[in-house]
Amino acid sequence: MEESLDLYSIIKEKYQIHDIDLKTYSPLTLAYIGDAIYEIIIRTKLVTEANTQVSKLHKRASNLVKAHTQAEMITSLLEELTENEMQIYKRGRNAKTATMAKNATMKDYRSATGFEAVMGYLYLNQQSDRMMELIEMGIQNVKDIIS
């Protein structure tokens, strides 16, 4: 059986990206990539669940990627985080940002930034299994607010 590579491994190989020291990365940089990979995962999940109108897919995806939902997810996951993941979350949550998402409270926005920082860290650290585990647990934990 052929060993499968995660997306980041494929990108690293294709573009000859050298190993990076994630401890030196800004939590907002981690959140930047974390936001993107989380959205890709959610869109992939929704598209593979149903071949439906794009407007319906967008509405479902928006409900899962908005700051409030991410804040609820990370709050529900705090006891599940490793010590390192908790440190990344806190760094992301406490990072000073120049902007804020529309339709979000500052508290939700900061928590969501922490969530995205954890996702970015796990993605860049090639821990896709752990990233998927947390996302799935988070989705299960907030099912009542995303329905």
Whether 19 is catalytic is no
Residue 46 neighbours by CB distance under 10 Å:
17
Please state the length of the chain.
147
Task: Indicate which residue of 6, 35, 108, 144 is catalytic.
Answer: 35
Phi-psi region of 97 (alpha: psi -120 to 50; beta: other; left: phi over 0): beta
> Which DSSP string corresponds to 26-46?
-HHHHHHHHHHHHHHHHHHHH
* Cα 56 to Cα 71: distance, rounded to the nearest angstrom: 23
- Which sequence positions are flagged as catalytic? 35
